[in-house]
Structure 1
Amino acid sequence: MSTIDDALVWLNDPYNWTGPGGVLELGAEHLRMTAAAVGIAAVLALPLGVWLGHTGRGAGVTILVANSTRAVPTFGIILILATTGLFGNGAAIIAAAVFAFPVILANTFTGVHGVDRDVRDAARGMGMSGLRIVGLVELPLAVPLIAAGLRTTIVQVVATIPLAAVAGGGGLGQIINFGIGNQRYGQVLAGGLIIAALALVIDLLLGLVQRAVTPSYLDAPRGGRRRRRTPQPGPARPVPAGEPGRP
């Protein structure tokens, strides 16, 4: 049989889904690892991004340093951690958190910093403190970009966490790792399809959440401002004889 046929056979075996170490068990572990990595990155990046966006202090240097972490492959970070004795899920979570940090930081900074200065000035003119301006003005206006950053980050981490299996960790990467080790390439393909499908489903769900948390007055699905609908003139009404304008 071909690799595709082997993958279909593997996917249609119920034991591979519900048995010990099956897709459901490994998938749950995969999602827990993703949540841990994104949670660590968000706890660090969100407050820093809000502060930098609000004050503008040292923003360029911080964003540059954060983006420089993208030049280091996630697998390389896992290997570096392995040299310190950290293996398995812990190494993968830390590596994925390092990978996720700059995306969340950049989007948060851009969203808060991009708030119209006139809006800030108006809030100060109303007597708002800096903290209230952040909470009541800047953050609500920055929600679309922050949500987009989190959505992108989560999907990328879902696709990156399978590297944990290389360092002795769990998650859906074990399916691929086991298939490679035993030359079962149909299983390798099946594992890749499952991870891709999981990433697509999560992206779809997060898209719905992003749309729900975005205020309606900021919702511009085509990337521009909402265009006001201009009333169109209706058909001309016949003017009876004898009225002005009637010959």
Structure 2
Amino acid sequence: MPDQTRPSPTRAMRLGVCGPVGTGKSSLIALLCRELAGGLRLGVVTNDIYTDEDARLLRSAGVLDPERIRAVETGACPHTAIRDDITANLLAVEELEADFSPLDLVLLESGGDNLTATFSPALVDVQVFVLDIAGGGDVARKGGPGIERADLLIVNKTDLAPYVGVDRDQMVADARAARDGRPVIALSRTDRASVDELTAWVRGQLARHRDGRLVPVDPGPMAPHWHAPDHDHQHGLEHGHVHA
């Protein structure tokens, strides 16, 4: 049987975090920085449409040297900069790696988008999709490229389930059913076991990256999708999606 491994990479592993607005992507990045910075050399690239707010929040949280946190202003829907034209993000990552070489891990946070947004495999090696349990227990079973095929799905803020009327176990079961065996983590920052499960998963992906066994998989393509009415614009059909 032919060897399926690739040559060991000389650059950092690039881990993308995406999901809808308010699901806790920034807090997840901060959590990973706090948990991993003691043993790994990290960098972060954030995405916002017209500001660097997420980067400023992370810098103010003191989770990393502020110079290791870079911001990309997409100027358009966040998915355009993580999938359609990754140039700005790719340059930010490469500059970060050049300035702080060697890095072990670069975390890329997408701006908040919809359930179809995924990273290009040309930008990240592995990607995490984040759902907020307060967003509704039915979200996971509705599916979509990120929910179904990202390398990891996180059902976040599970400690809120009793307060928002969501059956945590059922939502996680629905997520697992939608993902056909791909991993799901029910995460709460107040639940040490779930935090340890997350960091163990990231370390496992990093080990695979280092020995050449991690091959990026594309969860896309993006299906036609609609934004809320206050997101009023239309992209060309060549991007494979429609906005209302």
Fold shared per TM-score above 0.5: no
Structure in which a larger fraction of residues adopt helix? 1
Structure in which a larger fraction of residues adopt strand? 2
